[in-house]
Amino acid sequence: MNDSTKSISEVLAEFAITLRYEDIPEAVIHRAKLHILDAFGIALASTKQTYSKKTLSGILDIGGEGDYPIIGSNVGLPYRESALMNGFLIHSLDFDDTHVAGVIHSTASALPSVLSAAKRHSVDGKKALSAYIAAIECSSRIGMAAKGGFHKKGFHPTGLIGAFGSTIAAGCLASLSVKELVQAQGTVYSMASGNLEFLKEGAWTKRMHPGWAAVCGLTAVSMCKHGFEGVLSPYEGRYGVYNTCSSEDIEVDIGIVTKGLGKEWEMLSVGVKPYPACHLTHSCIDATRKLFNEHSLSSEDVKKVVARVAEDSLPVVGEPLSAKRRPGSGYEAQFSLPYLVASAIVRDRFTLADLEKSSYTEPQVISVCDKVFCEPMEGSLYPKYFSGEIEVTTKNNEVFIQREEINRGADVTPLEPKEIISKFKENASLVLSKGNYESAINAVLNIDDVCKFSTITDYFKCEGHL
């Protein structure tokens, strides 16, 4: 779907409004269900965190309780506030899916919008799934066109670009016309936000970006349903998102936004994370584990480690080096390439348990952190893939190198369905009994059969966490 006479927002609106469940390939629908399941599992695990409880308290202080469910809780919130909280829970552990080329956590902003709008408009599973997939297709492409430029300029695409996907999903479920959805995209552009300043001190702000994107989307849709008028060129305009929010050093390919729309499915390119850490680091974690296992090395053998990622990724995960070697919180640990590599060396893993203070302050791990240096990687495939390379020099002055050009979980190296389900079980078991989470799996994998999509949240209610 590509018409040069139409604006990008017109093309995206027409695609989303006319997309029917029957038009979507079976593989895309099945993958969408797995990603929704993954998001629910992560949200359940997030309910155990102190920051989640404090966030819910703050949101309750705004508007009190409401009728819209929160994943992992018996407490409900008002329409938009529930989307804010659900987005927070899905994204807060940084364990949620990522569209690598778009550098965006696609589901974390799309699903909260769908959950709220689907309940408000009493839609069935097929319509909700179609709206969710439409959001993923659009937000992924919008992010792809910038080629990493949003990140380089200091914006967080999950918040900034996720707002457009959230708007498209909510607009479909609210039965907007094409004209109204065009206006909604133009309206949400004035609300969209999300920056990378959280990296400096590990602030909680990134966690709220996708939920806020959903809030913005729901707001824009309701306003435009009642005649509100927004800008008509939020993407390609003189002050549109690409000219304003993307780095001047990177040439935007605006044609990517509409290329292959409805024929080539970006849903199949969204990666499910194997590790609860910044996706930019995953190839280095895997490379470290492979190298140390293949050569039977241990932390005692290490003289020096050089971890390499794309040059544009270094400010996020490797700088300043002194601070990255001493993460002060679990969140800082997730964005610390030295710590993640050190954890892989010492423990041959990186799990939620490694985000605890006792883990990132462990003397043996800290000692290895001091031996890790970060450099730009030559030949990185970023932003298409999050490449990584590890070079280890042993105390015997032997040098070993392991390079992972394509991060595990990407489109050509996807996690298998059984791996995604296993990940869900591991996360869900922190708060649900085995019988309950098995029922939840069955419900999500058959969600297109339900008359009311909103009933899916009944399987994820639990006491005593939030």
56-90 per-position pLDDT tens digit: 999 999 999 999 999 999 999 999 999 999 999 99
The backbone region for 204, taken as left when phi is positive above 0, alpha when psi lies in -120 to 50, beta otherwise, is: alpha
Given a cut of 90, whether residue 450 has pLDDT beyond it is: yes
CA distance from start to end of the chain: 44
* Separation of alpha carbons 368 and 300, rounded Å: 9
Given a cut of 60, whether residue 401 has pLDDT beyond it is: yes
Provide the pLDDT for residue 465: 66
Lowest mean pLDDT among 183-197, 284-298, 403-417: 403-417
Q: Mind listing the pLDDT tens digit for each residue in 25-58?
A: 999 999 999 999 999 999 999 999 999 999 999 9
Provide the pLDDT for residue 3: 59
Provide the pLDDT for residue 202: 76
Given a cut of 70, whether residue 2 has pLDDT beyond it is: no
Provide the pLDDT for residue 88: 98
Q: What average pLDDT score do residues 224-233 get? A: 98
Q: With respect to CATH, is domain 8-273+440-460 assigned 1.10.4100.10?
A: yes
Q: Mind listing the pLDDT tens digit for each residue in 194-206?
A: 999 988 777 899 9
Pick the CATH number of 279-404 from 3.40.50.2300, 2.40.128.20, 2.20.25.240, 3.30.1330.120: 3.30.1330.120
Q: pLDDT band for position 466 (50/70/90)?
A: confident
Mean pLDDT of the chain: 95
Q: Does residue 270 contact residue 97 with C-beta atoms inside 8 Å? A: yes
Q: Does residue 8 contact residue 428 with C-beta atoms inside 8 Å? A: no
Q: Where are the domains of the chain?
A: 8-273+440-460, 279-404
Q: Is 286 helix (H, G, I), strand (E, B) or coil?
A: helix
* Separation of alpha carbons 446 and 440, rounded Å: 10
Q: Is 186 helix (H, G, I), strand (E, B) or coil?
A: helix
Contacts of 227 (CB under 8 A, 6+ apart): none
The enclosing H or E element of 98 equals: strand 98-99
Q: What average pLDDT score do residues 396-417 get? A: 94
Q: pLDDT band for position 383 (50/70/90)?
A: confident
Query: Residue 450, class by beta-carbon neighbours within 10 Å (0-12 exposed, 13-18 middle, 19+ buried)?
Result: middle
* Separation of alpha carbons 139 and 133, rounded Å: 10
Provide the pLDDT for residue 84: 98
Q: What average pLDDT score do residues 221-236 get? A: 98
Q: Mind listing the pLDDT tens digit for each residue in 280-322?
A: 999 999 999 999 999 999 999 999 999 999 999 999 999 999 9
Provide the pLDDT for residue 348: 97
Q: Is 215 helix (H, G, I), strand (E, B) or coil?
A: helix
Q: How many CA atoms lie within 13 A of 460 on its CB side?
A: 34
Q: pLDDT band for position 464 (50/70/90)?
A: low
